[in-house]
């Protein structure tokens, strides 16, 4: 491409000559990525579901760098721009050289952001060259499975650290709703509004644009179609489009449920190999994720049923088949998603569910290194005595097994603590737990 055309495209995405909208800051991600960029020479890869906010996060990081080192010390290349007539390694190199020649004025290492880079064949050669010459700090992002850790580990051969960007946490959601909750006093004085907004969060999820839009369901339907078409069907060249959609809708209908691929295959009348392969595609596109059963053996984990969750409750409510709202399942999915999000900032955290031979079950077991550190049960309504006793028995049994003095019961609105046989059960409303 001509340098003039490249410079025009790049100028529209960068901070050099104009102010660009950087949105509402995702502070926790912003700090984590900047810390990695500043403290290591690794390539930072941001992966995550489409429309989850990766491009906006890039702009926020670029703005922070520009404030410290100058606007011309950043370069954002977004390969979803339709004006890129060719998306090749040559175009990538030309864009970078155009920036060095026409824009960069400082002696500092530039920060180079490659957005939706999976559309460029052999982009990793460019990334490896930049890394080996130590001439720039490099951050790449995209939605495709090509930017998942397994493939990146191969193409970048250990030069990268991957951060998964999830839709908004409840804390971030409140910020997007202009509700600041910074202290216990804020929680006390804004409790009614917080409880109203947790209902909206359960119903429509945390995609940034959906949170700010009045056309939430239309947007969610559009997201689902785009993810399925672009990140799965087109990427993996799937001929039978209806089968992948049927499987996706099945999982979105059955969130927080036990599944085995064999049972799913029989229920949907699909070949087992198809279910296994398509389930992998849905997971790599960040539509769903699975949590395994806790076991002291790897074989036990792999053979047991898994529990399936969605990346966003809004997708489940909009796409999944339902007649009534199942608040218990939605609450459990929100907790699972929050725990996955926390893994981003605590890489040694592992998340499982627990079940014994008597079918007593605890929704989440949290393990760090060699030790189980917490067990969490999620129950929408514990007003009924039978329900409360059943949930408590399972939680106490898990606490006994893992030698824990405390366990957490996440509820719709019950708060407090109770002691049973020297063990303490902490009752936390979902909204309060999400804000802790």
Q: Are 146 and 224 in a shared domain?
A: no
Clarify whether residues 155 and 215 are in a common domain.
no
Q: Could you tell me if 279 and 394 lie in one domain?
A: yes
In this structure, is residue 88 part of a structural domain? yes
The residues near 129 (Cβ < 8 Å, ≥ 6 apart) are none
Residue 151's domain comprises: 3-165
pLDDT of residue 146: 54
CA 339 to chain centre: 10
Q: State whether 235 and 143 are in the same domain.
A: no
In a domain, 137, yes or no: yes
**Strand-by-strand arrangement of the 74-78 sheet:** 74-78, 111-115, 137-141, 43-48, 160-165
Q: What is the pLDDT of residue 42?
A: 92
To which H or E segment does residue 46 belong? Answer: strand 43-48
Q: Which has the closest alpha carbon to 365: 376, 357, 356, 355?
A: 376
Asked whether residue 93 is domain-assigned, the answer is yes
Whether 182 is covered by a domain: the verdict is no
Asked if 112 and 75 count as a contact pair (C-beta separation under 8 A), the reply is: yes
Same structural domain for residues 265 and 135? no
Residue 274 and residue 410 in one domain? yes
Per-residue tokens: 419: 């002691």
pLDDT score for 271: 96
Q: Please give the backbone phi and psi of residue 15, each rounded to the nearest 5 degrees, phi first.
A: -90, 0
- Does any domain span residue 198? no
Contact 427, 409 (CB under 8 A): yes
What is the CB neighbour count within 10 angstroms for residue 273? Answer: 10
Distances (CA, A) of 124 to 117, 129, 174: 9, 8, 38
Domain limit, last residue, from 135, 165, 195:
165
Domain count of the fold of the chain: 2
| pLDDT number for residue 147 | 56
Q: Which of 64, 88, 60, 68 is nearest to 1 (CA)?
A: 88
Q: What is the pLDDT of residue 28?
A: 95
Residues 6+ apart with CB under 8 A from 159: 42, 43, 127, 128, 131
CA–CA–CA angle 185, 23, 190 (5° rounding): 15
Q: Is 195 contained in some domain?
A: no
pLDDT of the chain, 436 residues: tens digit per residue: 888 999 999 999 999 988 899 999 999 999 999 999 989 989 999 989 999 999 999 999 999 999 999 999 999 999 889 999 889 999 999 999 999 999 998 888 999 999 888 788 888 889 999 999 999 999 998 765 555 545 565 667 778 898 999 999 999 999 999 999 988 899 999 999 999 999 999 999 999 999 999 999 999 999 999 999 988 998 889 998 999 999 999 999 999 999 999 999 999 999 999 999 999 999 989 999 999 999 988 888 888 999 999 999 999 999 998 767 789 999 999 999 999 999 999 999 999 999 999 999 999 999 999 999 999 999 998 888 788 999 999 999 999 999 999 999 999 999 999 998 899 999 999 999 999 8
CATH number for the domain that contains residue 14: 3.40.50.300
For residues 370 and 263, membership in a common domain is answered with yes
d(C-alpha 264, C-alpha 292), whole Å: 16
Q: Which helix (H) or strand (E) holds 138?
A: strand 137-141
- DSSP string across 270-325: --HHHHHHHHHHHHHTTSEEEEPBP-SSHHHHHHS-EEEEES-HHHHHHHS--SS-
Q: Does 297 share its domain with 373? A: yes
Are 138 and 226 within one domain?
Answer: no
Q: Is residue 176 part of a domain?
A: no
pLDDT at 264: 97
Does any domain span residue 66? yes
Note whether 94 and 160 are same-domain residues: yes
pLDDT of residue 148: 53
Give the span between the Cα atoms of 109 and 119, in whole angstroms: 26
- Same domain, yes or no, for 95 and 217? no
Minimal CA–CA distance to 44: which of 52, 283, 54, 103? 54
Domain C-terminal end among 133, 165, 197:
165
| Amino acid 85: pLDDT | 87
Count Cβ atoms below 10 Å from residue 301 Cβ, excluding itself.
14
Domain C-terminal end among 139, 165, 191: 165
**Are 136 and 17 found together in one domain?**
yes
pLDDT at 92: 95
């Amino acid at each position: 491409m001509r340098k003039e055309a490249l410079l025009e495209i790049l100028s529209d995405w960068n901070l050099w000559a104009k102010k660009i909208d950087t949105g509402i800051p995702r502070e926790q991600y912003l700090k984590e990525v900047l810390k990695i960029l500043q403290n290591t020479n690794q390539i930072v890869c941001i992966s995550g579901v489409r429309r989850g906010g990766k491009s906006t996060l890039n702009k926020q990081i670029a703005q922070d760098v520009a404030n410290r080192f100058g606007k011309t010390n950043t370069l954002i290349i977004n390969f979803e721009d339709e004006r890129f007539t060719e998306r090749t390694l040559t175009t990538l190199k030309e864009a970078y050289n155009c920036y060095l020649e026409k824009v960069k004025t400082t002696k500092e290492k530039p920060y180079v952001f490659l957005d939706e880079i999976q559309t460029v064949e052999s982009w990793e050669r460019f990334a490896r060259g930049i890394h080996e010459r130590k001439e720039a700090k490099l951050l790449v992002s995209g939605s495709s499975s090509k930017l998942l850790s397994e493939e990146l580990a191969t193409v970048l051969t250990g030069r990268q650290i991957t951060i998964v960007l999830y839709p908004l946490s409840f804390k971030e959601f409140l910020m997007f709703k202009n509700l600041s909750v910074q202290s216990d006093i804020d929680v006390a004085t804004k409790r009614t509004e917080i409880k109203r907004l947790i209902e909206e969060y359960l119903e429509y999820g945390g995609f940034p644009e959906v949170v700010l839009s009045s056309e939430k369901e239309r947007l969610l339907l559009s997201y689902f179609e785009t993810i399925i078409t672009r990140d799965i069907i087109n990427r993996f060249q799937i001929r039978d489009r209806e089968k992948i959609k049927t499987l996706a809708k099945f999982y979105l209908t059955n969130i927080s449920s036990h599944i085995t691929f064999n049972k799913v295959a029989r229920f949907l009348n699909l070949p087992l190999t198809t279910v296994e392969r398509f389930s992998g595609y849905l997971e790599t596109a960040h539509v769903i994720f699975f949590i395994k059963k806790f076991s002291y053996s790897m074989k036990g984990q792999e053979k047991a049923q898994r529990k399936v969750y969605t990346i966003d409750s809004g997708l489940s409510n909009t796409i999944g088949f339902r007649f009534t709202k199942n608040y218990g399942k939605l609450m459990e999915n929100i907790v699972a998603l929050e725990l996955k999000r926390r893994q981003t900032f605590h890489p040694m955290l592992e998340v499982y569910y627990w079940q014994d031979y008597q079918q007593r079950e605890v929704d989440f077991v949290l393990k760090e290194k060699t030790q189980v550190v917490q067990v969490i049960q999620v129950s929408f309504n514990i007003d009924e005595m039978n329900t409360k006793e059943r949930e408590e028995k399972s939680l106490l049994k898990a606490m006994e097994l893992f030698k824990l003095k405390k366990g957490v019961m996440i509820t719709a609105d019950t708060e407090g603590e109770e002691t049973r046989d020297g063990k303490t059960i902490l009752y936390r409303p979902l909204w309060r737990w999400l804000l802790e």
